[in-house]
Structure 1
């Protein structure tokens, strides 16, 4: 499709879709967003009018089956990612799916199977964005031995004081988010880019507000996704990792990650990278070379992959399955109190 116009349909024009995917796609030559389907006709028409989409669909199934659509961007909450992705691939459409990939590991594997069964189609998951700027530099420093042997990883995903009285959000609703917990999977995806996968997981979690109001249905709903979780993981590279994802850490400072080695330390925080070796008095900021500095190019990569210019790198369905297996292992460990080996499922 190098010289032809790529016609894109949107299923779920949420915040990230409107902020990133729609303008990103509209900025690319010979790409047209030709249809949209939101949760309601009213919201679909509002988005269409706002960004200039000519067609509105009442049913996402009709959108993915439409012969005048070549690719589908899925910007819904996770509960729709599997059904829409699989249906779109079965209809011969390229797929860009919002993160998190799926509700659980089994659904992610089903999505991967649908993609692998159609290798001529592009299947991409929106990547974890936090570390794009520094990923290559961290990878290089680790490969060069800047910190010696990697021994431990500490990830802190913080969200301020607990919201005691707020309504339930989609991130707290297990029917909409499945086994995904806060930003845990997003941070694990970034760590995977740097050092590879976990091979064993143990976790404990806590939900402090047991019920929250569902503002749409005007009723109280049980909250089954934790507001604070600690995860210990043995990594395949030999390091041990600790992930703390919490919404009860008021005044604790920004989210970030430390990589501790035998001869040095790296800290990633707020898009900046700091490092120091044994003889340093403190960590100092590390400049990111222009040749290594990454940026958001999700839509560009998706279109280039469709046109055969480059393969999907960030993020493949294979990597999406890996972080969904980690996410499910965390859930299983929280429920059973046992260490859970990875991978969970052999394809």
Structure 2
């Protein structure tokens, strides 16, 4: 498919959209950013002025219905992902949607159904970024038997709070905008899916330590419903067990890590952008840093992949709507288990 010019509309110019999507799309040949609609007209005009986007729309629906737009980047919080993505696909627009995919598993399924109803359109999610550079190497170590029989894995993701007791409610802890998404749970699980198979059992407990914040819209103190401490146990389809400790209540915490334990060796990745990868065999005294070879090192190429997929040059891999449905299925199951204080099958 030869498409010389691709005209892009922006719905929601959040931090990642301004930092990554807009500049990188502008750097691709034959791509024009022509319309933007943010949460307010004032913020839309500011974005348009900053990036020389010629047309400001007063609502996101105007971009959906615009005959001048070929593709849409949805950079809002999760509350609008399903409605905007489905509407865009039904209007014949290609879609690049920000992570987290949706408010819940049901919305994610609706998005997948909308994409499957229009297979000629590209539908892509922004991928979990932290392990892109190391995914191929991790997968190779597993496939080539460097770890032996896989036994279990451990996720340790601890950080300081994003919401102070006397501070404003962050959107990630606002159920109105985040739904079932909690902290970095879905992002971590998406990364793990690149190396192994989905979960079939989960059990989760948690807590809400910082349980009140100021609603930026009303100015009133409101209760927080999304946990800031979560402990998850799981079993994967291949029988491997895993555990996750994810918190936003840890002072002086160590950098987050994921460790994969096997009968013959162990891998550890520092779960930060371009984090180091470590390996130790059974006979080694300690773990050593793994050199990731240039031809194995992945990188952020989300916008390039999106445009290439529209032009028929490659298929979307990171991340497909199918993968998004899987991580939302897992996220939903974890939150149901947390609320029920018991086991829930994804």
TM-score range, shorter chain: over 0.9
Quick one: distance in 2 between partners of 1:294 and 1:139?
12
- What is the aligned-residue RMSD (CA, Å)? 1.0
Q: How does 1:139-154 map to 2 (within 5 A)?
A: 139-154=139-154
Report the secondary structure of 1:195's partner residue.
Answer: coil
- Cα pair 1:157 1:184 within 8 Å, conserved: no
- Cα pair 1:151 1:262 within 8 Å, conserved: yes
Quick one: distance in 1 between partners of 2:160 and 2:83?
34
* Alignment partner, residue 322 of structure 1: 326
Residue segments in structure 2 that go unaligned for 5+ positions in a row: none
Consecutive aligned runs of 4 or more in structure 1 exceeding 4 Å deviation = none
Quick one: distance in 2 between partners of 1:26 and 1:261?
44
- Cα pair 2:5 2:32 within 8 Å, conserved: yes
Per-residue Cα deviation, 1:35-82 (whole angstroms, up to 9, x for no partner): 000000000000000011000000111111101000000000000100
Residue segments in structure 1 that go unaligned for 5+ positions in a row: 343-347
Cα separation, partners in 2 of 1:205 and 1:296, compared to 1, 3 Å: same
Q: How does 1:178-193 map to 2 (within 5 A)?
A: 178-193=179-194
- Cα pair 2:8 2:32 within 8 Å, conserved: yes
Quick one: distance in 1 between partners of 2:160 and 2:288?
26
- Cα pair 2:209 2:249 within 8 Å, conserved: no
* Alignment partner, residue 257 of structure 1: 258
Q: How does 1:115-154 map to 2 (within 5 A)?
A: 115-154=115-154
* Alignment partner, residue 91 of structure 1: 91
Quick one: distance in 2 between partners of 1:106 and 1:216?
27
Q: How does 1:152-301 map to 2 (within 5 A)?
A: 152-160=152-160, 163-269=164-270, 270=272, 271-301=275-305
Deviation at 1:161, TM superposition (A): 5.6
Quick one: distance in 2 between partners of 1:151 and 1:165?
44
Report the secondary structure of 1:110's partner residue.
Answer: helix
The answer to whether the aligner puts 1:58 opposite 2:62 as a matched pair is no
